[in-house]
């Protein structure tokens, strides 16, 4: 087990999932404040048909081409969500649920058909369901790493614009900031971080790496900047520890362990978070009641003295 961890390829995989977690945490913060957490779930499931079709066209596993197929499939899913919402009375969350189910069902159907040919099993297409970081080769790692670093760079460089775009859209528009451009960049980054992570985390659980770190971070701070930093740290730690645990067993899927790691951090945040943690809120409520009781007792004592 130690030899596996010390191997150069294992170290690169571990580092790439760490960076993927950081990028996911940052994009997840944007999705949280845009109230589109379910969008990440819908688009991650919508990516599966593109992965399978790309493999079927080439007949071999080529991660850059499969990432491109996943991106195209996800963008088509996003377009259908917007179309359903704009041309009917169906709400956005309902449209997301429809697209999630239809695209994922279509992807599973294609995956079953391709796997029966034999080539799909040899290429490890099943790993795209729950993720398998150990199956990644060096070119896969480089692809994931480079795209994740570009996403992190864009978020950091345009941080002030993101803040205006999310919290004061009218003021941002007055400054000449195009909401259509910002929405386009946001959607592109959301799709990219999903499609580069599906081999390591899986299409089913990739949304968790986007949602859980951001929600966990919000229990510790009300600051947007601090929340993004904490979300990036939590996402990176979840990706690293989940991958590390999955490498300890033979054939263990990476995605579930990453979700377990992030969920453990969420439980700690939910209970002990400095801003909204359950225990902290209980202590604050207890102190308020004590203060209220003490103030009431003092007031009654004062009234009694006055009557005397």
pLDDT at 72 over 90: yes
- Mean pLDDT across 68-88: 90
Q: What is the mean pLDDT of the chain?
A: 83
- Mean pLDDT across 85-111: 89
175 occurs within a structural domain: yes
Segment 158-179, tens digit of pLDDT: 998 888 888 887 888 888 888 8
The percent of residues in the chain predicted with pLDDT above 70, rounded, is 89
pTM of the model: 0.84
C-alpha 204/C-alpha 46 separation (Å) is 10
Q: What is the pLDDT of residue 144?
A: 85
Domain total of the chain = 1
- Mean pLDDT across 138-146: 83
82 occurs within a structural domain: yes
Q: Which residue has the tokens 């990036």?
A: 232
The residue among 254, 245, 57 whose CA lies nearest residue 136 is 254
C-alpha 11/C-alpha 82 separation (Å) is 40
Q: Residue 91 belongs to what domain range?
A: 2-276
CA 153 to chain centre: 17
290 occurs within a structural domain: no
267 occurs within a structural domain: yes
For residue 19, give every residue at least 6 positions away whose Cβ sits within 8 Å of its Cβ, in sequence order, or none: 144, 145, 148, 149, 152, 236, 239
300 occurs within a structural domain: no
Q: What is the pLDDT of residue 231?
A: 95
Say whether 168 sits in a helix, a strand or coil: coil
58 occurs within a structural domain: yes
294 occurs within a structural domain: no
Segment 244-254, tens digit of pLDDT: 888 777 777 88
Maximum distance among all alpha carbons in the chain? 97
Q: What is the pLDDT of residue 5?
A: 55
**pLDDT band per the 50, 70, 90 thresholds, residue 292:** low
Which segments of the chain does DSSP mark as H helices, in order? Answer: 2-6, 8-33, 37-58, 63-87, 92-115, 119-123, 127-130, 138-157, 159-167, 169-174, 179-201, 206-218, 224-246, 254-272, 278-307
C-alpha 131/C-alpha 145 separation (Å) is 16
Q: What is the pLDDT of residue 168?
A: 82
Q: What is the pLDDT of residue 128?
A: 75
- Mean pLDDT across 301-306: 54
Q: What is the pLDDT of residue 86?
A: 86
Segment 178-223, tens digit of pLDDT: 888 888 899 999 999 988 888 788 887 888 899 999 999 999 988 8
DSSP annotation of 118: S
Radius of gyration of the chain (CA): 23
C-alpha 280/C-alpha 282 separation (Å) is 5
The percent of residues in the chain predicted with pLDDT above 90, rounded, is 28
pLDDT at 148 over 80: yes
C-alpha 253/C-alpha 157 separation (Å) is 34
Find the CATH number of the domain harbouring 200: 1.10.3470.10
- Mean pLDDT across 6-25: 83
Q: What is the pLDDT of residue 267?
A: 93
236 occurs within a structural domain: yes
pLDDT at 289 over 80: no
């Amino acid at each position: 087990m130690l030899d596996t961890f010390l191997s150069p390829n294992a170290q690169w995989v571990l580092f790439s999932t760490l960076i993927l977690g950081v990028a996911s945490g940052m994009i997840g913060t944007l999705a949280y404040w845009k109230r589109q957490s379910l969008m990440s779930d819908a688009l991650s499931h919508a990516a599966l048909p593109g992965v399978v079709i790309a493999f079927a066209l080439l007949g071999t596993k080529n991660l850059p081409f499969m990432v491109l197929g996943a991106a195209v499939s996800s963008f088509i899913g996003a377009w259908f969500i917007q179309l359903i919402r704009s041309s009917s009375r169906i709400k956005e969350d309902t449209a997301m649920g429809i697209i999630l189910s239809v695209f994922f069902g279509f992807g599973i159907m294609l995956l079953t058909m391709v796997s029966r040919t034999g080539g799909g099993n040899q290429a490890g297409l099943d790993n795209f369901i729950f993720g398998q970081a150990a199956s990644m080769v060096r070119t896969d790692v480089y692809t994931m790493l480079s795209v994740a670093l570009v996403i992190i760079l864009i978020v950091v460089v345009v941080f002030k614009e993101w803040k205006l775009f999310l919290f004061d859209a009218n003021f941002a528009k007055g400054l000449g900031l195009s909401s259509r451009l910002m929405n386009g960049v946001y959607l592109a980054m959301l799709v990219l971080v999903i499609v580069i992570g599906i081999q390591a985390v899986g299409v089913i659980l990739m949304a968790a790496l986007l949602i859980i770190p951001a929600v966990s971070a919000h229990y510790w701070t009300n600051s947007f900047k601090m929340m993004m930093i904490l979300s990036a740290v939590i996402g990176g730690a979840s990706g690293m520890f989940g991958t590390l645990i999955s490498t300890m067993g033979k054939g263990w899927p990476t995605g579930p362990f990453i979700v377990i790691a992030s969920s453990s951090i969420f439980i700690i945040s939910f209970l002990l978070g400095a801003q909204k943690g359950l225990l902290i809120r209980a202590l604050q409520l207890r102190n308020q009641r004590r203060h209220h009781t003490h103030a009431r007792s003092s007031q009654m004592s004062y009234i009694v003295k006055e009557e005397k």
